[in-house]
Amino acid sequence: MNLYDKLKKALEDKIQKHNLTGQNISIRCKALSTYEAIGEPSDQDYPIIKGKEVMVEAVFKGAKGQSFTEQFENTDYSVEDLLKINLNSNKKRASFIAGLNAVFRHLKLCDKTVHCKDNEPRECAEKLSSYIGSDYNNILLIGHQPRFLETLAADYKVRVLDMDKDNIGSKRFGVLIESADITEDAIKWADLIFATGSTIVNGTIDNFINKNKPVIFYGVTISAPAKILNLKTYCYCGH
């Protein structure tokens, strides 16, 4: 059973256990505006502000679940439809993960499924080094999250991998942003992998788990999947 089959099976079990089968409840997946997703932070270098990513939001019985992606659809899904989605594209995975987060949030099986806003991303980053501690020297950051890179670069040796061609080859906070093509080499170098939870949406998460390296996933996207898959997460200011 692959990772996504495990997520579907966990969702199916909860639908049956909590008698959600057959209910005429729709999950409306939509892309949020930048203001809806992240408010008005003082820093303007986040990918969502630069238009590189969007936040997909699903609402189930008033509970919100979100996921980051660069591909999205605005559509309705019933709860049972989520089990039938062919998870063969980023936009389909984004809808499924947002819906999964919403259902699990409604059932109080996970929390922090809504992104922080305004200057909370900076507050989150400021708590990061104390969370990671002093047991690691080489930190591999997966996904160019500028506040996390700013903080990590001040306290650790850092490498950062990104999929955005506009970022690759540039230096931020003194750190060269490298291509995901050298993932295996970078993992060998790392003492700790600190990876964006949106790897569950873009399909690269298998590159970072079961590698005999500690890994922490950050952000709201990974909330319910982390509970199902028993993954360690960091999301200090999520809602």
- For residues 112 and 89, the answer to whether their CB atoms sit within 8 Å is no
CA distance 108 to 92: 24
Residues facing 63 on adjacent strands? 60
The sign one gets for the Cα dihedral 150, 205, 162, 201 is: negative
* Structural domain includes residue 173: yes
* Structural domain includes residue 112: no
Total domains in the fold of the chain: 2
Q: How many helices (H) and strands (E) does the chain have?
A: 9, 11
Specify the pLDDT at position 51. 45
Calculate the dihedral angle through the C-alpha atoms of 142, 45, 65, 117, rounding to the nearest 10 degrees: 130
* Structural domain includes residue 111: no
Q: CATH number, domain at 129?
A: 3.40.50.720
Domain end: 106, 140, 173, which one? 106
* Structural domain includes residue 113: no
CA distance 138 to 238: 26
Specify the pLDDT at position 225. 98
- Asked if 125 and 87 sit in the same domain, the reply is no
| Residuewise pLDDT in 10s, the chain (239 residues) | 799 999 999 999 999 999 987 765 566 666 665 555 545 555 455 454 444 568 888 999 999 999 988 877 888 888 888 999 999 999 999 999 999 999 999 999 999 999 888 888 889 989 999 999 999 999 999 998 888 999 999 999 999 999 888 888 889 889 999 999 999 999 999 999 999 999 999 999 999 998 899 999 999 999 999 999 999 999 998 89
* Structural domain includes residue 17: yes
Specify the pLDDT at position 160. 96
* Structural domain includes residue 114: no
- For residues 215 and 192, the answer to whether their CB atoms sit within 8 Å is yes
Side by side, the strands of the sheet bearing 63-69 are 63-69, 54-60, 26-31, 75-78
Domain end: 53, 81, 106, which one? 106
- Asked if 126 and 227 sit in the same domain, the reply is yes
CA distance 6 to 82: 13
- For residues 174 and 154, the answer to whether their CB atoms sit within 8 Å is no
Domain end: 106, 129, 148, which one? 106
- Asked if 124 and 230 sit in the same domain, the reply is yes
Q: State the residue range of the domain holding 135.
A: 120-234
The sign one gets for the Cα dihedral 93, 94, 95, 100 is: positive
- Asked if 169 and 101 sit in the same domain, the reply is no
In Å, how far are 14, 62, 65, 106, 134 from 58, measured between CA atoms? Answer: 17, 9, 5, 11, 38
Specify the pLDDT at position 170. 87
Specify the pLDDT at position 69. 85
* Structural domain includes residue 239: no
